[in-house]
């Protein structure tokens, strides 16, 4: 069958979108989104800008891809890339269409849409329901309306299905050490905390990685406290090389994400050259004042330095992910909205964020500074995922373990709100219990494997991912076995817009 590739503009003005009526051809009088065929050598954005100039005499600002629709017409197969746009100027002129209307969510069905365009209506209806301006995000985060909140979580899930599909990628999480040179005020393994310390041997790390490979997880994360001593740096270099050499059968060599804090640029380069290709460094808060309040002012904990590390990681070529805590003391809804907009400006291809969970012995907890109750922090965590998915449809978003501390189905609910990465913990259980950034008693206690000397938290379960529940069984969640699971956004390598 003949194939045609086109672009279409979903032009939004306030709470309405532009529909145009065809004035020619077999589908004359039907309604569509303006746009047209891509010419050879044109990017979708170039084609869209040209088509809208030709059809409407209009200049547009082109936003994110809402969805690519695949549709079989009787004579051809259509691939239609649909972008959210706004008008750069008010005036437009109908050069090819016989009519146009601005439709709001309630009146979308008032016209007879071309079949392919009709596929977009549920997503557009959702899109029009949520205001993704800074003020709109703040209002969404502060909403106490259960119906609104539920619709937002559902919109996050639907956007995920539309932009990245139902696949959830896996990362076998290896918590290599709870020794840390830093003293973050919220953390249970901070340098100043009196707690049992551990460091996994090379053999333990490799055993955990081999287990991840055997289970076809496709990728691992090596996470630990921040250390800059040469012995530790060499150990990571050695381990990254050794993990890449693990026999994974028909799967590609394991993908490696590192999350080992701030390091000199040359150390990041060394680990990248060894084979790590993703790095997670959470900004924790994009508000420098709040960052200061949750870290000691001792010269070791600098917001600017952390930001510089993120730039370095990106420049070196890592897929540089970041994230923040949600529901901390002193944090406002505006801070959270700014965190989401920070991720967007930074062009992060992956985000790991989760609710703040207090550690009983941390200075922040002991200070008595108030923070939202569990249920509120949990809902905030889910809403942040959904809003982020709407803002950045094709990135990877992790369903953080911190969600599970607040609800036994926390990670599953994160995935059903728009997250698409799940990190089964493959750290040896006897050490896992010591990696207490926050109080993890609930998740460790509830797991049938915990504390029994088993190597894997989910080893005894019928499904390896018991906490994904019925949605896994029903196919709403599909596991991406044996894949690195890089985000679509990573392939665009979006530049950072932060000055």
Residues that bind ligand SF4 (CB under 6 A): 180, 182-184, 187, 189-190, 225-226, 261, 437
Helix (H) or strand (E) holding 334: helix 333-346
Q: Residue 159 has which token pair?
A: 């956007």
Chain centre to alpha carbon of residue 84: 20
Minimum Å gap between C-beta 293 and ligand SF4 is 14
Nearer to ligand SF4, 170 or 280 (CB): 280
Strands 99-104 and 16-21 turn out to be antiparallel
Residue nearer to ligand SF4 on the CB measure, 312 or 394: 312
Which residue intervals of 245-332 are DSSP H helices? 265-274, 288-293, 303-316
Closest to ligand SF4 by CB, 190 vs 278, is: 190
Phi-psi sector, 482: left (phi>0), alpha (psi -120 to 50), beta:
left
Nearer of residues 381 and 469 to ligand SF4, judged by Cβ: 381
Residue 284 CB, nearest distance to ligand SF4 (Å)?
Answer: 8
Name the residue nearer to ligand SF4 (CB basis): 31 or 186.
186
| Residue nearer to ligand SF4 on the CB measure, 31 or 291 | 291
Whole-number minimum distance, CB 261 to ligand SF4, in Å? Answer: 5
Residue 366, number of CB atoms within 10 A of its CB: 12
Distance from the Cα of residue 455 to its chain's centroid: 28
Least CB distance to ligand SF4 at residue 177 (A)? 9
With beta carbons less than 8 A apart as the criterion, state whether 286 and 264 touch: no
To ligand SF4, the closest distance from the beta carbon of 245 in angstroms equals 28
| Collapsed DSSP state (helix, strand, coil) of residue 432 | helix
List all residues 6 or more positions away from 363 whose beta carbon is below 8 Å from its beta carbon.
185
Q: State the nearest-atom distance from the C-beta of 190 to ligand SF4, in Å.
A: 4
Strand, helix or coil at 63? strand
Q: Which is nearer to ligand SF4, 35 or 261 (CB)?
A: 261
For ligand SF4, which is the closer residue by CB, 118 or 199?
A: 199
Give the whole-angstrom CA distance, residue 244 versus residue 227: 22
3-state secondary structure of 349: coil
* Cα 128 to Cα 480: distance, rounded to the nearest angstrom: 31
C-alpha angle 153-157-159 in degrees, rounded to nearest 5: 115
Query: How many angstroms separate the CA atoms of 288 and 346, rounded?
Result: 16
What's the CA gap between 420 and 156, in Å, rounded? 11
Is the CB of 19 or the CB of 189 nearer to ligand SF4?
A: 189
Q: Phi first, then psi: give them for residue 338, nearest 5 degrees.
A: -65, -35
Please state the closest distance from residue 282 (CB atom) to ligand SF4, in A: 8
Nearer to ligand SF4, 51 or 226 (CB): 226
What is the number of other CB atoms lying within 10 angstroms of the CB of residue 352? 27
Q: Which residue has the tokens 């904990």?
A: 301
- The least CB distance from residue 279 to ligand SF4, in Å, is 14
> How far, in Å, CA of 380 to CA of 413, rounded?
12
Any idea which residue has 């964020």 for tokens? 353
- Nearest approach in angstroms of CB 357 to ligand SF4 is 12
Rounded to the nearest whole angstrom, what is the least distance from the CB of residue 152 to ligand SF4 in the complex? 29
């Amino acid at each position: 069958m003949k194939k045609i590739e086109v672009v279409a503009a979903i032009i939004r003005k306030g709470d309405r979108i532009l529909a145009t009526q065809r004035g020619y051809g077999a589908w004359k009088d039907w309604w569509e989104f303006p746009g047209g065929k891509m010419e050879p050598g044109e990017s979708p954005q170039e084609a869209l800008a040209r088509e809208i100039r030709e059809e409407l005499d209009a200049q547009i600002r082109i936003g994110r891809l809402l969805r690519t629709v695949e549709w079989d017409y009787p004579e051809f197969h259509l691939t239609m890339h649909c972008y959210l746009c706004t008008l750069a100027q008010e005036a437009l002129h109908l050069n090819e269409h016989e009519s146009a209307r601005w439709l709001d969510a309630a009146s979308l069905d008032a016209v007879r849409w071309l079949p392919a365009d009709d596929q977009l209506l549920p997503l557009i209806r959702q899109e029009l329901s949520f205001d993704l301006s800074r003020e709109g995000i703040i209002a969404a985060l502060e909403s106490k309306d259960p119906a609104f909140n539920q619709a937002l979580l559902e919109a996050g899930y639907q956007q995920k299905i539309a932009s990245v599909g139902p696949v959830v990628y896996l990362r076998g999480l290896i918590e290599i050490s709870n020794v840390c040179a830093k003293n973050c005020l919220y953390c249970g393994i901070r340098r100043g905390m009196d707690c049992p310390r551990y460091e996994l041997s090379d053999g333990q790390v490799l055993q955990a990685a081999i287990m991840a490979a055997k289970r076809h997880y496709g990728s691992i994360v090596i996470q630990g406290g921040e250390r800059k001593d040469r012995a530790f740096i060499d150990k990571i270099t050695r381990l990254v090389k050794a993990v890449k050499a693990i026999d994974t059968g028909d799967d590609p060599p394991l993908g490696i994400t590192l999350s080992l804090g701030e390091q000199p640029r040359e150390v990041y380069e060394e680990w990248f050259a060894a084979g790590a290709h993703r790095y997670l460094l959470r900004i924790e808060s994009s508000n420098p004042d709040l960052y200061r309040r949750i870290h000691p002012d001792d010269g070791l904990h600098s917001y600017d330095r952390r930001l510089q590390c993120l730039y370095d990681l990106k420049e070196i070529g890592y897929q540089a992910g970041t994230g923040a805590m949600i529901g901390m003391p002193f944090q406002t809804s505006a801070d959270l909205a700014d965190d989401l907009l920070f991720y967007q400006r930074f062009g992060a291809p992956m985000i790991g964020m989760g609710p703040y969970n207090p550690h009983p012995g941390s200075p922040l907890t002991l200070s008595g500074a108030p923070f939202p109750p569990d249920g509120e922090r949990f809902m905030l965590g889910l809403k942040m995922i959904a809003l982020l998915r709407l803002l950045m449809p094709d990135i990877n978003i992790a369903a953080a373990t911190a969600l599970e501390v607040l609800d036994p189905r926390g990670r599953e609910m994160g995935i059903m709100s728009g997250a698409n990465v799940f990190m089964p913990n493959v750290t040896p259980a006897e050490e896992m219990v010591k990696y207490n950034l926050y109080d993890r008693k609930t998740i460790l206690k509830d797991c049938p494997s915990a504390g029994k000397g088993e190597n894997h938290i989910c080893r005894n379960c019928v499904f390896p991912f018991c906490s994904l529940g019925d949605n896994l069984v029903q196919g709403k969640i599909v596991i991406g076995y044996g894949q690195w699971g890089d985000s679509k956004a990573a392939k665009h390598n979006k530049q950072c817009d932060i000055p």
